[in-house]
Amino acid sequence: MDKVTVLYDYDNYYQYKERKMDMKVKLLGSVALAAALVLGATGCGSNSDSEPIPTEDSVTLPKKAQTLTTYADIALANYTDALNDAKSLNTAIDTFVATPNETNFEAAKTAWKIARESYGTTEIFRLSNGPIDAEEGFATAWGTPEGQLNAWPLDENMIDYTVDSSGATTSGNIIDTVGNFTPSGSEATTVDATTITKDVLAALNENGGDANVATGYHAVEFLLWGQDQDYNSFLDDTVTNGATTAGQRPLTDYTSGTNVQRRKDYLVAASELIVDDLQDMVDAWTEGSGSYREAFLGSGSNAISTDDALKQVFIGMGKFVKSELANERMAVAILTPSEEDEHSCFSDNTHVDVTTNYQGFVNVLKGEYKGSSKGTGFYSLLSAATKADVDTLIASIDSKMAAMNMAVSTEHFDYQIKDGSSHKENLNSAKNELRNLGDAMVDVAGEFGISLTEDDVTDPDETSV
């Protein structure tokens, strides 16, 4: 996607850092411990590679191992739920394409929303060199399917027809092209799309460019809802459905006219591919010889050391909440402002994406899932000072998430980000605090004896701040 410059509230940020430092000094009561933590904090964003100063309160190796087991247990439980909900979505889609009526259409949409919730909390396992999106090493054995499951934003013109703001209908997409299809892009390769199958869609996904998304939740979303005809501030909108209305794809797309069967085939194949990819993630995190879980917990021929596993987890958590959620998923949409840059723009479900992505972070940090403890969480082993910092941020973000969700009754996310919306500042503040929460993972890691800087928890490819 094109990058834009993200405005960041630096005054708020440095006030947070100064308050955090003061709080630590007051609560510790030990000059040695305070010095150690202050050194860790002032190293944030610097080029210092110095190791944290050990203290008598350092987390022991057995405790570290317990937190990793908890992390793995949450991953397995969460991906299992996501898989089961994806299977339910697939069943609902099968029912709909067999009997395309309004009742079954709405049931498929409801099943998609449920499936998005359970998948949304799994996003925290990204960016940690794990099986969902690892770029190198043993974890790539599970296919690293994140780009096939959740790539966005997508160019919907590649999948099916669209209607522009003047009412003109586009063509030349996968569904209306029988035979060879070549996506846009100078390096795109031609794929025989005579019959729409899982393999064909996988071959077309991101073929020729990142926006050429042919698979995953958002492709299914577009096929169920169609466009949400609420254009951004830069276009004259002649077909707006309103602040609380999502896309309104007509049922006739599946009952009459041309390309009905190809559209059905596409919907079924895309939903089946989601199931396949999530099954791979469940397999990766299931206990057994050769599994990723085995390696992650330090066993087998591909064993990862405890500290290496912790380091990749802390880096991934920080990067996800800071660079992916706060920056790419919120800040870009807020500053454009354009619904084309919101995550689930067809269904107007972006507020759920943001909420569940954030909840996934909290789940892993605290060692909880669905409100219940799954074992020893990272948070439980932190000092009182760092807990206080994290608690303050989480409490404030919680309130802003609640305000965003409450406002959806009158304005969906795409309207909340518009200039002049009374809710825009709430989203902007939430974005800044999520970035602070990502930076706080430097201090969390330090208490586990893992030396990180703020650069480590910032994606180098993120929008410049």
Per-residue pLDDT of 344-396, as tens digits, reads 989 999 999 999 999 999 999 999 999 999 999 999 999 999 999 999 999 99
Q: Which residues pair with 369 in a beta bridge?
A: 372
For residue 57, name the pLDDT band (cuts at 50, 70, 90).
Answer: low
Q: CA 43, CA 108: separation in Å to the nearest integer? A: 50
Q: CA 77, CA 62: separation in Å to the nearest integer? A: 23
Percent of the chain with pLDDT over 90: 75
Tell me, letter by letter, the H, E, C secondary structure of 201-227. Answer: HHHHCCCCCCCCCCCCHHHHHHHHHCC
For the cut 90, the answer to whether the pLDDT of residue 98 exceeds it is yes
Model pLDDT, residue 242: 72
C-beta neighbour count of 75 within 10 angstroms: 27
Per-residue pLDDT of 201-239, as tens digits, reads 999 999 999 999 999 999 999 999 998 876 544 455 555
Model pLDDT, residue 239: 55
For the cut 50, the answer to whether the pLDDT of residue 6 exceeds it is no
Model pLDDT, residue 463: 61
For residue 44, name the pLDDT band (cuts at 50, 70, 90).
Answer: very low
Model pLDDT, residue 338: 76
For the cut 90, the answer to whether the pLDDT of residue 288 exceeds it is yes
Mean pLDDT over residues 36-55, rounded? 35
- φ, ψ of residue 328 to 5 degrees: the values are -70, -35
C-beta neighbour count of 402 within 10 angstroms: 12
Q: CA 45, CA 465: separation in Å to the nearest integer? A: 13
For the cut 50, the answer to whether the pLDDT of residue 130 exceeds it is yes
Q: CA 412, CA 333: separation in Å to the nearest integer? A: 13
For the cut 70, the answer to whether the pLDDT of residue 459 exceeds it is yes
